[in-house]
Chains A and B, each alone.
Chain A
Amino acid sequence: MRQSGPITCRKCNSLVPAGDQFCPTCGKQITALDRSIGAALGPEAALSAGRPEAIRKAVRWMIILGVLFIVFGTFFGMKNVSDARVAKSALALYEDDMVFPVEVNGKSMTVGELRRRIDFELYSMFVVNYLLAIAMFGLSFWARRSPFPAMITALCLYLAVNVLNAIAEPASLAQGWLIKILFVAAMIGGLKAALAARAQERLDAPPASPAA
Chain B
Amino acid sequence: MDSDPRSPVCPACSRPVRPGTSFCGGCGAPLPPSIADDAGPSGAELPASVVGPVNPWRRILPSIWMWILLLAVNGVVGIYVRITETSSPSLLVAAELLGIPIVLLCGFRSRTSWAKLLRSGPFGARSLLFAAAALGVIFVWMNGYFFLVSLLGVETLNEAEDFVRAGWPVFAMLVVGSLLPAAIEEVAFRGVVQAAFEEVGNAREAILIQAGMFAFLHLSPVVFVSHFGFGWVLGYLRLRSRSLLPGMLVHALWNAWVILGDIGEMGAA
List residues of A whose CB falls within 8 A of some B CB: 16-17, 19-27, 29, 50-51, 106, 116, 120, 124, 128, 131-132, 146, 148-149, 152-153, 156-157, 159-160, 163-164, 166-168, 170, 191-193, 195-196, 198-199, 202-203, 206-212
Contacts and interface: CB of A to CB of B under 8 A. Distances in A.
A149 B209 CA distance: 6
A199 B64 CA distance: 20
A98 B202 CA distance: 59
B18 A24 contact: yes
B26 interface: yes
B68 A159 contact: yes
A15 to B, nearest CB: 10
A156 B153 contact: no
A195 to B, nearest CB: 4
Contacts of A146: 205
B105 interface: no
Contacts of B188: none
B208 A153 contact: yes
Contacts of A132: 221
A148 B208 CA distance: 11
Interface string B21-46: 11111111010000000011111101
Contacts of B60: 152
B23 A199 contact: no
B25 A16 contact: yes
A178 to B, nearest CB: 20
A51 B205 contact: no
Given A24-B18, A208-B49, A163 B23 contact: no
B254 interface: no
Most chain A CB within 10 A, of B7, B27, B213, is at: B213
B15 interface: yes
8 contacts: A27-B28, A116-B153, A146-B205, A149-B205, A170-B83, A191-B57, A192-B44, A193-B43
A60 B78 CA distance: 32
Given A50-B43, A106-B85, A209-B18, A195 B23 contact: no
A195 B52 CA distance: 12
By Cβ-Cβ distance, the 8 closest A-B pairs, closest first, are A20-B25, A196-B43, A207-B16, A211-B20, A24-B21, A22-B28, A160-B216, A27-B23
Given A17-B18, A149-B201, 5 more contacts: A164-B219, A166-B78, A210-B50, A211-B39, A212-B43
A163 B219 contact: yes
B79 A210 contact: no
Interface string B211-245: 01100110111001000000000000000000000
B29 to A, nearest CB: 8
Contacts of A199: 43, 46, 50-51, 56
Contacts of B213: 156
Contacts of B51: 199, 202
B47 interface: yes
A29 B216 CA distance: 50
Contact of A160 (B18, B52, B217): B217
B219 A160 contact: yes
B17 interface: yes
B59 to A, nearest CB: 9
